[in-house]
A and B are shown apart, each in its own frame.
Chain A
Amino acid sequence: MESKEFDIMDRVNYDIAWCPGCGNYQIRTVMMQALAELGLRPQEVVLVSGIGQAAKMPHYIRVNVFNGLHGRSLPPAAAIKASNPHLTVIAESGDGCMYGEGGNHLVHTILRNPDITAIVHDNMVYGLTKGQASPTSRRGTPSPLHPADRQGVTSEPLNPLALAISLNASFVARAFIGDQEQTKDILKKAIRHRGFALVDVFQPCVTYNKVNTFRWFKDNTYYLPDSYDPTDRVSAFQKAIERERLPLGVLYVSPDRPTFEEESGVYDTDRRPLFQREVDWKKLEALICSMKSAT
């Protein structure tokens, strides 16, 4: 499969709603390449998103799309996978959407471990609503609601990786879109991983985040060495809470967790997706017949 198979732009003439120079463009390019290199067909991929600038991504890629509500990309994504495990399901949205409005869903989706991938565009700011702080904004960052003369953002930033590892997420990684090849490689690993995969992608917002720029991310990140063992949970956690420079790469893998779909038991003996199934009238009749006494 070629990457242009996933490009919707040469079929329709879209007016992309992102600012010139935004990191979202590169994420789009990398996503299309990753899907193509994984040998997927557009028909078997579903991109699910919430609301925000990042959440518009599915509209700019040629796949099945469920563009739902702000913060709510993970519940439908998990349900889509549980209803048809043959699909490759990817939830993609911004940090406000995934970590703010959708925080509770993130926690519980990690615990359930559906075989889906969550890609979070982490620009440490709310883009679509014009520059408010996001859960990942650093302390001290000025925002319209946190003026510089009052020390900027005062809350501790959310550490999505440490959170995910603490919940024994089955795959936890971080990428920086300044490096397209590396990001693509991480995305491919995440999508291929069986179980819930979280990829936090650093993506500079050139319009609203004047602090965490391309330069800033370049200077404040480093790649985990090849010798790094992602199955060691304690050292993964240590890496995740480093503050000086932020590690990039696959931080943690918990390879043996069964997925939600497997645990449901519904596919144990019947691999068909739910839409191909029929009511078993014989069984239903037997069940009803058995109800001749009060329970």
Chain B
Amino acid sequence: MRPVVLARMRRDVSVVLAGAAGQGIETVGGMLSTVLKDSGNNVFTTREFMSRIRGGTNTLQVRVSSHRVAAYCLRTDIAVPLDRTAIPHLAKYSRLQESTAIVGEAEAVPEEYQRRDRVHLVEFTQMARELGSKVYSNTIAAGVILTLFNADRDAGRAYLTERFAAKGPEVVQKNLEAYERGVMVGKRLTSEGLIFQIDREESVKEELILSGTDAVSLGAIAGGCNFVSSYPMSPSTGVLTFLAQRSQEFGIVVDQAEDEIAAINKGIGAWYAGARAIVTTSGGGFALMNEGLSLAGMTETPIVIHLAQRPGPATGLPTRTEQGDLKHFLNAGHGEFARAAFAPGTLHDAFHLTRRAFDLADRYQVPVAILTDQFLLDSSWNVPMIDLSDMSTEKHLVETDDAYRRYRLTHDGVSPRGVPGHGAGLVVVDSDEHDEDGHITEDLRVRSEMVRKRLHRKMELLRRDSLPPEVSGAKKPDRLIIAWGSNYHVMREALEISGRTDTGLLHFRQVYPLHESVAGMLGDADEVMIAENNATSQFAAVIHLETGVRVPDSNRLLKYDGMPFSVEEVVGFLNR
């Protein structure tokens, strides 16, 4: 076997684990990312999986890097196949290159690959059996890979000790042995030249590893969320689970609703009574929430909706990613009323925007959506500790008096919101057109005034309060490429790799309403491009509507096969 030194020059290494659901890819991935992070490496993990509980072919990519990366790439430096389907699966989707080293059992490496260079056969299962059970093969595999990165051995041992503590000292001991066996194999491979030296940073060791799901959930708690009602639907369910598991600690009422119709009506009822509620769902569930969204609009009751996008229409590709529900959210609900939508690009955004969604919904008494997607939610990476020191929750509830009128027409367009049981007044809300008291009216003049308040005045306030897009890349760009939501990191990385000094990135984390500066920014560029994970360039349509600027069809990079953009694809587009 010819010794090869990969990645010496590279800034990062991509390890891809592939195999069937239930084979322990997650376990190995979790250990790799934690121990490498604890060793001072930046790590990014993203997963791609089929909609089934067992079998199929799933992959998990871990990028180990000297600096923060948080994007999916096609390059695979080390492939760890866990079954026969793994290698053909990677090959089929252009994720296996000549340079890819394969580390796996003979069983899992198809004949035609076994004769290739850079194939390292390791009998994980056999070694595990020697230890008493094949369950240890995952720990052995993790030990091998970690050693290729010269990971901190104590960090590895500490991880296993903690992870298996609940299962008793014997299980811990066996796993430590398995790990050591993996380390031995790893050393052999490094002596054959399979070694990856990635610069480390001391500060990384103290960082957090969060997924998009974690960041949204933590942001909700920071936003004062104390009520969640939802019906499970991938990929949104993680947020419901997270909040449920922390419900006693943070005093959160959890209601696994009978359907999404009930979920949003409950969320609205909870806000009416003064709780801060979130509903978390995906496109199909949000379709059922349309009626409730209108109710929030009409009654001017705040609601926070986490809309986790996945490919549709209908049930689509349940476990895949897409940015296909932007228009769905913006057009949802019958009638006309104000609303706002955030689309986090980073974990930082996911936390802070979710938190902000609660304040914004409360401030203007409107529905606010957080549009995420499977890629963001199911990816995780290391980030610095979130600083909570200056955080507080905005207070908008008033104590009512005898003369309280829920829909009082005020100078600024927002009626003070009271809640039942707080003050001498009564809180009357209605889904019918209503007067200032909240009672049904068919007075057509009152109707017009209420529409102006619910729609025009609030849109004006929301626009004034909206977040401008972030500009990065070239200083004085001729070309601007637009992205929104979870494509932030892939665009940043691709732009850097492309070496284009004429191109800037305009990333939107608030996708509706748009900040007033947008039209000017776009007007100044010679050329405007866009990249979106959908087939119709939905955000380009929003931009066109809001600013009059049209992104030419030929300048649109659209992907809708259920996978996120890879760095390579975007580089190709930028340099086309």
A residues apposed to B, CB below 8 Å: 12, 14, 17, 42-44, 46, 48, 51, 56, 58-59, 62-69, 72, 75-80, 82-84, 86-87, 104-105, 107-108, 112, 260, 264-266, 270, 273-281, 283-285, 287-289, 291-295
Contacts and interface: CB of A to CB of B under 8 A. Distances in A.
B253 A287 contact: no
A292 B388 contact: no
A62 B428 CA distance: 10
Contacts, number: 222
A288 B258 contact: no
Given A76-B269, A82-B227, A275-B397, A291 B429 contact: no
Interface of B: 29-30, 33-34, 37-38, 45, 159, 162, 206-211, 214, 218, 221-224, 226-227, 229, 246-255, 257-259, 261-263, 265-270, 272-277, 291-292, 295, 299, 380, 385-386, 388, 391, 393, 397, 419-432, 437-440
Contacts of B249: 283, 287
A68 B224 contact: no
A273 to B, nearest CB: 7
Given A43-B425, A273-B273, 13 more contacts: A17-B440, A66-B299, A68-B269, A72-B261, A79-B227, A79-B273, A83-B275, A105-B258, A105-B261, A260-B255, A264-B247, A274-B253, A288-B388
A75 B388 contact: no
A293 B292 contact: no
B248 A79 contact: no
A266 B385 CA distance: 28
B270 A79 contact: yes
Contacts of A84: 273-275, 419-421
B218 A294 contact: no
Given A43-B420, A274-B226, A83 B274 contact: yes
A32 to B, nearest CB: 14
A212 to B, nearest CB: 27
Contact of A79 (B207, B214, B269): B269
A264 B266 contact: no
A270 B250 CA distance: 11
B421 A43 contact: yes
Contacts of A112: 255
Contacts of A283: 249-250
A51 B427 contact: no
B275 A274 contact: yes
Contacts of A82: 227, 253, 255, 270
Contacts of B299: 66, 68
B421 A44 contact: yes
A275 B440 CA distance: 27
A84 B224 CA distance: 16
A272 to B, nearest CB: 9
B227 A76 contact: no
Contact of B269 (A59, A77, A108, A291): A77
A291 B209 contact: yes
Which of A62, A86, A273 neighbours the largest number of chain B CB atoms within 10 Å of its CB? A273
